[in-house]
Structure 1
Amino acid sequence: MRTMLILVLFASVMAGQTAHAAEQCDQVRFGIVDWTDVKATTSVASELLQALGYDVDISNQSVVDTYDALAKGDIDVFLGNWMPSMAPVADPLIEAQKVERLGANLEGAKYTLAVPQYVYDAGVKHFSDIARFADKFENNIYGIEKGNDGNLLILDMINSNAFGLRPFELIETSERIMLAQVNGAVRDQEWIVFLAWAPHPMNERFDIAYLDGGDDYFGPNKGGATVYTNTRAGFSEQCPNVATLLDNLEFSLAMEGQVMDMILNQFVPQDRAARHWMHQNPEAVEAWLNGVTHRDGRKTNPTAIAQSMKLTLNN
C-alpha cells in the first residue's frame, strides 16, 4: 500500500510538472518569408497549434532578417530552410548554436534558374548559355524579394562574373511580380530567365525548363533541395510538445502544390486553404498529431480536429 501511494504521488508530481512545462509555452512565434510554399506549410502548423490551444504569431520578413530574429530569440520557428541554397545564411548560425536545425519537412524539392521551354529549345540549357543570349534577355535575371537567398546567389554570380554574367542586372521584386513577368513573357513568346522552384503551381501553369550548371550555387540535380525546420536555440527543450509536432510535420510535393494552387490560383486565404486541405485529408492530421497533446496535456482526437477544419472556401 505504501509503495502504491508513493507511485501515485510520483505520477501526480510528474503530471504537474508536465502541465507546468506545457503552460510555459503558450505561444509559438513563426517567421515566414514572402513565398507561397512557406506560407502554406506555416498555415498548416499554425492551424494545428491553435486547435491544440496555443496562441500563434506570424511575422513576415526577409530571409536574412528571419534568421537574425531566430538567432536573437525574437521568433521561435521557421519552416523554410531550403538547402543547400540557404547554407551561407543558415549554417553559420547553426554552427554557432544560435539556431537549431530539426528534421526535413520536405524532400525532393528544387530551386534554381529556369527559362520557358521555347527558350530552352532555342539553346539556353546551361547557366553558361545565358550570357550568349544577353540581348534577348535584355541583360536581366528575375529574382524575388530582396535579401532572398536565391537572389544572393545570383548576385554572387554577377559580382564574380561567373558564367560571364557581370553585365546582367538582378531584378528583385516579389514572387507574385516575378510570376507576372513570366506570364507576360510566355504570352508574348519573349525571353526571360528567372528563379523557379518546386513545389509550386508555376510548374503546371507554365511550360518551363530548369537549367543545368548551377551545382556550385544551387546544388546538384538542377537545384535539388531539401527543406528543413529551424528553431531558435533551446526551443525544443522548452516546448517539447510543440517540438514533437514540428518533428512530425513532413509534407509532400503534391500536398504543398495543392494548397499553393488554392492560394495563388483560387485566391483562397492561406489559413483557409490549409484548413480545407486538412479537412479533406484527416489521415495526414493523424500522422502529424502522433504523440502530440493539447497544450494543457489532454490527449488529442485527430479525427475531431480534422473535422473542425471544415469551412466554405468562399466565406
Structure 2
Amino acid sequence: MKKLKVSLLLLLAFILLVGCSSGASTSGEAGEDSKNVTINFGVTPWTSTIPPTKVAKLLLEDMGYTVKETNADAGGVYTGLSKGDLDVFMDSWLPVMHANYMEQFGDKLEDTAVSYTDGELGWVIPTYVEGIESVEDLKGKEDLFGGKVYGIEEGAGMSVTSKKMIEELGLDFEYVASSEGGMLAQAQRIMAKEEPVLFLGWRPHPMFANYDLKVLPSPEGYFDTSEVHVITNNELKDKAPEAYELLSNWSMNVSDIEKMIVEIEDNNRDAEEVAQEWIDNHPDEVKAIKGE
C-alpha cells in the first residue's frame, strides 16, 4: 500500500511538473517577439512629430515592447537610424524636404509607411500683408520684412532648402535659425503689431488655427507639398517583426494630428493622455493599424 501511495504521489508530481513546463513554454512563445525588445523612436523638436510618436508608443507598449524616445534634430535622427541607435521616425517629409537624408542614408533605412499625404509647408506670411502672393513676389521687397526669414534649427531640411532658395533666387534675406518655439515667439511679437513677417510654416501645426496665415507658393523643386512617412532602420523587421508589421500599416489623418497638437500645445494637456484619447475614440483606425 505504501509503495502504491508513493507511486501515485510521484505520478502526480510528474503531471504537475509537465503542466507547469508546458504553460511556461506557451507563455514564452507568445511573448517571444516583444519580450526584452526595446524600440527607440527618434523625436525631432517639431509639434507634428509628437502625436504619431505617442500613439505608436502606446500601441507598441500594449503589445509588450519597451519604448524609448530620443530627442534630436532631423540630421541627428537620420544619423541615429542609419547607425541602428534609433529604430523609428514617424515624421519624415518626402519626397523633397528630407530627400537629402534619404540620399545620404537610404541604403540603411526603410520607407515603411505613408502617414498622410497633405503636408503643406514653406514660407508663410500673415494674410493682412498685401501684394505678396508667391516667393517670387518677395524679390525687391525684402526690406518690408526687415530682410529676415525666421526659421527653425540649422539641421532641418526646411532650413537647408530656405538657404538654397535665398541663394539661387537672389533674394536679399538673412535666414535666422532658431528653435520652433523661438521662431514662433518672434513671429507672434511682430504679428501682434500687425507688421509684415516672414517665417517657416507647415501643416499640421496649430499656427494655422491660431492665426490667419498663407503659405507662399515657391518655384518647383523647393517647397512642394509633401507626404509624411514612417521611416525605420533596416534591422527592425528582424528585430521586432510584429512591431514592424504595425508600423507598415500606419496611417493618421492630418486634421486629427492638428487637433491633437492644439490639445497638447494650447490646452497644456499631457501628450500621452491625448494620444490615448485618440486611440479610444478611433477603434476602426486602430484596428487597421494593427492589421485586424
Counterpart-to-counterpart distance in 2, 1:264 and 1:21 = 35
Cα deviation digits, residues 80-134 of structure 1 (max 9, x gap)? 110121101223311xx21111121111111111111122xx2111112223211
After TM superposition, give the deviation of residue 18 of structure 1 in Å: 7.2
| Preserved CA contact (<8 Å) 1:127 1:163 | no
After superposition, residues 14-53 of structure 1 pair within 5 angstroms as 19-23=31-35, 26-53=37-64
Whose Rg is larger?
2
Could you tell me which residue of structure 2 aligns to residue 153 of structure 1?
Answer: 161
Cα deviation digits, residues 233-267 of structure 1 (max 9, x gap)? 12113211001110122010111011111111101
| Preserved CA contact (<8 Å) 2:33 2:242 | no
Counterpart-to-counterpart distance in 2, 1:18 and 1:70 = 28
Counterpart-to-counterpart distance in 2, 1:199 and 1:178 = 16
TM-score, normalised by the number of residues in structure 2:
0.85
After superposition, residues 1-315 of structure 1 pair within 5 angstroms as 19-23=31-35, 26-83=37-94, 84-94=96-106, 97-119=107-129, 122-158=130-166, 161-165=167-171, 167-219=172-224, 224-291=225-292
| Preserved CA contact (<8 Å) 2:34 2:64 | no
| Preserved CA contact (<8 Å) 2:121 2:201 | yes
For structure 1, list consecutive stretches of 5 or more residues without a partner in the other structure: 1-12, 292-315
Give the length in aligned residue pairs. Answer: 267
Could you tell me which residue of structure 1 aligns to residue 19 of structure 2?
Answer: none
Counterpart-to-counterpart distance in 1, 2:161 and 2:234 = 27
CA RMSD of aligned residues (A): 2.0
Aligned partner letter, 1:178: M
| Preserved CA contact (<8 Å) 1:201 1:261 | yes
TM-score, normalised by the number of residues in structure 1:
0.79
For structure 2, list consecutive stretches of 5 or more residues without a partner in the other structure: 1-24
After TM superposition, give the deviation of residue 22 of structure 1 in Å: 4.1
| Preserved CA contact (<8 Å) 1:38 1:79 | yes
| Preserved CA contact (<8 Å) 2:34 2:63 | no
After TM superposition, give the deviation of residue 16 of structure 1 in Å: 7.3
Instruction: Give the 3-state SS of the residue equivalent to 1:186 in structure 2.
Output: helix
Cα deviation digits, residues 19-66 of structure 1 (max 9, x gap)? 534446x21100010011111110110111112221110011011111
Counterpart-to-counterpart distance in 2, 1:28 and 1:147 = 24
Instruction: Give the 3-state SS of the residue equivalent to 1:136 in structure 2.
Output: helix
| Preserved CA contact (<8 Å) 2:51 2:260 | yes
Instruction: Give the 3-state SS of the residue equivalent to 2:128 in structure 1.
Output: helix
| Preserved CA contact (<8 Å) 2:43 2:71 | yes
Instruction: Give the 3-state SS of the residue equivalent to 1:124 in structure 2.
Output: coil
Counterpart-to-counterpart distance in 2, 1:262 and 1:123 = 34
| Preserved CA contact (<8 Å) 1:128 1:164 | no
Counterpart-to-counterpart distance in 1, 2:89 and 2:125 = 29
Counterpart-to-counterpart distance in 1, 2:53 and 2:34 = 21
Counterpart-to-counterpart distance in 2, 1:53 and 1:196 = 37
Instruction: Give the 3-state SS of the residue equivalent to 1:183 in structure 2.
Output: helix
| Preserved CA contact (<8 Å) 1:70 1:232 | yes
